[in-house]
Amino acid sequence: MRYFPAALERLTEQFAKLPGIGGKTAQRLAFHLLSMPEEDAREFADAIIDAKKSVHLCPCCQNLTDRELCPICDDESRDHGLICVVADPKDVIAMERAREFTGVYHVLHGVISPLNHIGPDDICIRELLARVGKGGVREVIMATNPDTEGEATAMYISRLLRPMEVRVTRLAYGIPVGSQLEYADEVTLLRALEGRRDI
């Protein structure tokens, strides 16, 4: 027997489809939406439609944008000969927060992950190759996550870029600033040792 109105059940199901939202939470969220003023609920619905309609990928760097070109690709003051390759739009923000990088980005939208059936053609590698192929690019910095899949993706892409006469680099490994040596894992310490520099 159905205890709740069908429309409420449907809304609960929609919430339950979202990542990290279980049945109980979905129900709580659906109830909360019902208790909101009609205007606020409509605003929520409009925000979904609007985001879906107006946000698309930047044709140059594949980052999310609502303009023709994203603000970073459109910025003449940035170094368009230096491309930082990241897996996710959120990584662009992390890099920008460092306020040091003056080049442009390329967002892959994922990493190669055979276990999850994600191959090289499922992420935006083709677009990166086309971009570098057009010329004018001096250096490509691979800034995928320092885990197995991020590493493998960086290696794969660097191999494809090598014949294109472009410098391919990787973010340095080492101990994070502000952390404690005591808690650093062996691999990170090893990499930090390997990458040591004169002071």
Residues 6+ apart with CB under 8 A from 160: 125, 129
Binding string to a copy of itself for residues 17 to 36, with x set by CB under 8 A, is what?
xxxxx---x-xxxxxxxx-x
The answer to the question of residue 54 lying near a copy of itself (CB under 8 A) is yes
DSSP state for residue 181 in the 8-state scheme: G
Q: Of the ranges 49-57, 126-134, 152-160, 164-172, which one interacts with a copy of itself (CB under 8 A)? A: 49-57
For a copy of itself, the binding residue among 22, 51, 116, 138 (CB under 8 A) is 51
Q: Which two tokens stand for residue 108?
A: 């892959």
Q: Three-state SS for 171?
A: coil
The answer to the question of residue 44 lying near a copy of itself (CB under 8 A) is yes
The answer to the question of residue 159 lying near a copy of itself (CB under 8 A) is no
Binding string to a copy of itself for residues 63 to 92, with x set by CB under 8 A, is what?
-xxxx---x-----------------xx-x
Q: Which of 193, 80, 73, 95 is nearest to 144 (CA)?
A: 95
Q: Which two tokens stand for residue 48?
A: 């979904």
**Would you mind telling me the total number of residues written for the chain in this entry?**
199
Distance of alpha carbon 111 from alpha carbon 152, whole angstroms: 8
**Residues making contact with a copy of itself (CB under 8 A):** 1-8, 10-11, 13-14, 17-21, 25, 27-34, 36, 38, 40-55, 64-67, 71, 89-90, 92-93, 96
